[in-house]
Structures are given as C-alpha cells and as structure tokens.
Amino acid sequence: MELKDRVLEFAGRYDLLGCDAVIAGCSGGPDSMALIDILREAGVKLCCVHINHNLRPGDCDRDEALVRDYCKAKDIPFITYGFDVASLAAADGISEETEGRKLRYKAFEETADRIASEEGYADVRIAVAHHKDDVAETMMMNMFRGSGLEGLVSPAPRSGRVIRPLLSCRKSELIAYLDGKGIAYATDHTNSEACCTRNEWRNVIFPDIEKETGRNPVEALNRTYGLLAGDLDYINAASEQAYAGCAVDIGRYKALSVSALNGLHPSIRSRVIRKLWLERFGNLTDFEQVNLEDCLGLAGAEDPGGATALDMPFARKAVRHGDYFCFCGRGEEEALFRLIAEQMGLLTCEGALDVEIKPGIAINLPDSDISLKALIIENSNELEYNNYSWFCPEDILTEGRITLTCGRACGLKAKFTRAGAGTGKELRRFFTDLKVPLEARDSVIFVRQGDRVLWIPGAGHAEGFTGGKSKEKFDGDRDSTGRLLKITLERQVSL
C-alpha cells in the first residue's frame, strides 16, 4: 500500500478527516511537509499555519520562505505567526520547547476558531505531523518520568480537535515520500545532536538498543502502543460509565457522590476524579498526581461533619461536604456552599435580606428567583401545603414585627425552638448541628419576630404548622379557631 493510501486508511479508521476543514501546522521539516502534501492530494479543504519561533537566526526565515513558496505553488492558504520564544520563555520561567509548544497550539486554535467563524464551519480540525518515531520517543520519555497508561499511549490519533494522521508512518518513509516527489524540506541540524532528552533517545539510546537486540525499538514500541491503546479504550469506557453513576448536580455545579466514588476500583476512581476536573475546567493543565492524591484522600476520609476545602492549582478548590465531592473556581466557594445548603432543603439569598411580612404582600426577593407572598386564610379546612409554606394564627401579628431575613442581616444569635420541643438553640448552633456549610449559614433564609425564629423554610417551625401532620397537633393544642396567616416562598420558573 502506498504511503498516502496508508495515511488515508489510518485517518478513516479513526475518523480524523470527517470535518469541514483542516488547519495543518507546518514547520517546513519533512514530517509536516509530507503531512500537508498528503492532505492536499487527498482533496482536504486545507489551510497551512507556520510558526516562526525566531530561535535559529537565518534558518527560521529560510524555513518560513520554504513553506510559503510551497503553499503558493499549490494554491494553499498560508498564515504565519512570529514569536520571540526565547524572551517569552524566560519571562514565563519555562523551557523554550514548552513555550514554543504553548504558542503553537494557541495560534492553531485561534486560526481554527477564526476560519470556523468566517466560513460558517461547524468542525475545523488541527492536523499535526507526529509519526511512529515520535510515539516511541514519547513513550520512553514518559515511562521514565513515571507516567501512567495515558502517558504511554501518547500522542493519540485524536485529542479533541487535534488530529495526527501520520501515526502509521516512520520518519524515514516520510522523507522517502518527499524525495520521490522532489518536494523540498528543511533540516533542523539540532535534531541530530544529543542535546536534549528526545534527541538522546533518537540518536543514542535507540541505536544502542537496536545494536544490542537486533530489533528496531521504534517498531516494537509502536506494537506495545497499539496493545496499550486497546486496554486504555476499555478502561476509559468503564470510567465513563462509572462517572455517569457517580455524578450528581448541585445547581450549576457537577459533583460526585462520595459513597459511589469510594465503591470503585482505585484505577477507575482516579480517572473519575480527573474527568470531573476536566468537565469543570476544560483541561487537565497542572492537575498533577499530588493534586489527585489530595482529592482521593479527601473523598476517602470519614465524613468531616461539614464542608472541607483543599487548595488546587489556579486558586481552585476541591470541596467535600457529606456525600458531595466537587471542584470550584476562584471566588466561587460561597455560591457553591449556598447551593449545597439548598440541596439540604434550605433556602438562601445573596444579600442582607430583611423584609417585613404583612398580609397581602407579594414581592420578588431582591437578587433572587424567590417570591414572597403572605395572606390571611379564612377557612382552615381547605389548605394547600408545600415545603415552603407556613401557617400560624393571625394574632401573631399583634405581638410584633415579623420579618423574612437571614444571618447576614441580623446575625445568628436569635433562638429557634421547634414546635413541641422544650428547649431551643441559637441559630448558630442549630445550623452547626444540621451540618450547614459554615460559609452558607449567614445566607439561610428564616422568619423571625424579635429574638425568636418562627420558621426556617425546609428545616422546621416554632409555631403554627407546615403540613397535615403538624396541623393536627396544632389543632389539638388550641382552644379556639381563628383566621390564619399563610406565608409562602416560591421559586420562579424561567420560561
């Protein structure tokens, strides 16, 4: 099978080219020149992107001109970016190789986004020229860094919108392809020097292995890569299924059920946590093994009896509360903890809520999707109940001002005594016993009169009743009947 046909067969097997257009990164080296020529001959709608890193004076400009001339001759749209990689790497405190890679992929993504927007394409992919030799080098480098299975099956044929159609080819085959067609390509002389880890594997270690064993290590490692890739596909499918079984929603946040998570095999458990991070933040950048181990420890510990948060990269947090484990971004802790409180059946607010309740009132609470209604009920035999309605004798209005409020407005020193209980507790202690997250306690909504808490929606009442059973007790304790005050809180449904 000819090289082009083999590349297209591989691309078809992994559905790499089933898209509207392809952005091909082309440095001018033999790998990327072969990639762009094969894609062009295959009739792919193509745009070439060249990155000038300005690291090799003279050579960089020569490489850019070579790619530009090829694209002009073949009528391929050509876009170039120039970066001072050395200065940017020094400023960022990272290697020039890492800085260059970061800038390349950022440029590729921006170009793909722009073309998709301008042309109205739904799917624009980014082709890069990794091949079998890259697979072998990457596998060995990652192995000796202590990588897991994902690092040994890298690079993959497709990662998001990035595709690698040449993974079925050796570098020598790509050079032979270009030489046979008379296509010029650039040679980076540093590739033949044993000056960095990848070059040492390529130019020193692999030749020594072949000399000692009589077997080509690149082909052997690619066979291992294929076997491990199949295993990884199976594990990933099992992890997806496990994630679906563990995932729960806390408002707009996705969380994991700790009890379900801890029932998984350790290998699957770690992948489920990584998937939660990936789904929440879009990538696994800087989420390292030490962070994963911290998360596993937090999820595997006994119930802390409240909310516990651990620092994560980029000022993010890993949060555990009861059976919930989730991640939140910088400054999102309070919003998350309020949502956890609401999962417990409570109602919360953002600001310092303090609204006087009078019969006939019907308002939407400030900065909230909750409405407040209060009315007088004449016939106590025809009542409708829900979790957030409270009934009490109308006479309570003569005993003092009643307000719908929260701890942020009036503190948590007011006392709450459940109906029928002999003693009560300050709200601060009551919320602690209820295991409401500390950061959310000031946001919990309640009804108070003076220093007494009359009703905590979703948690309990001190007087009156909230349902059929509590009404029976209320009626049994009263000597006379009279009109009732009904207070209702409702969430507004968005249309």
| pLDDT tens sequence across 248-282 | 999 889 999 999 999 999 999 999 999 999 999 98
For residue range 56-103, list pLDDT tens digits in order: 888 899 999 999 999 999 999 999 999 999 999 899 888 888 889 999
Structure tokens at 180: 């046979």
457 has pLDDT over 80: yes
Residue matched to tokens 């049994």: 476
16 has pLDDT over 70: yes
SS3 assignment, position 206: helix
- Residue 458 gets the label, from left (phi > 0), alpha (psi -120 to 50) or beta, of left
pLDDT score, position 194: 46
Average pLDDT value over all residues in the chain: 90
**Whole-number Å distance between alpha carbons of 268 and 278:** 15
365 has pLDDT over 80: yes
Three-state SS string over 401-428 comes to CCEEEEHHHHCCCCEECCCCCCCCEEHH
Going from the N-terminus, what domains does the chain have, and what CATH number goes with each? 3-136+146-215 (3.40.50.620), 229-331 (3.30.465.60), 354-491 (no CATH)
List the one residue out of 364, 390, 386 whose CA is nearest residue 377.
390
pLDDT score, position 494: 45
Structure tokens at 198: 């990848």
pLDDT band at 189 (very low <50, low <70, confident <90, very high): low
195 has pLDDT over 60: no
Q: Per mean pLDDT, which range of 3-12, 398-407, 410-419, 472-481 is the poorest?
A: 472-481
Can you tell me the mean pLDDT for 154-178? Answer: 95
pLDDT score, position 22: 97
In this prediction, what percent of the chain has a pLDDT beyond 90?
Answer: 69
pLDDT band at 151 (very low <50, low <70, confident <90, very high): confident
pLDDT band at 185 (very low <50, low <70, confident <90, very high): very high
Claim: this prediction has a pTM higher than 0.85: no
In this prediction, what percent of the chain has a pLDDT beyond 70?
Answer: 96
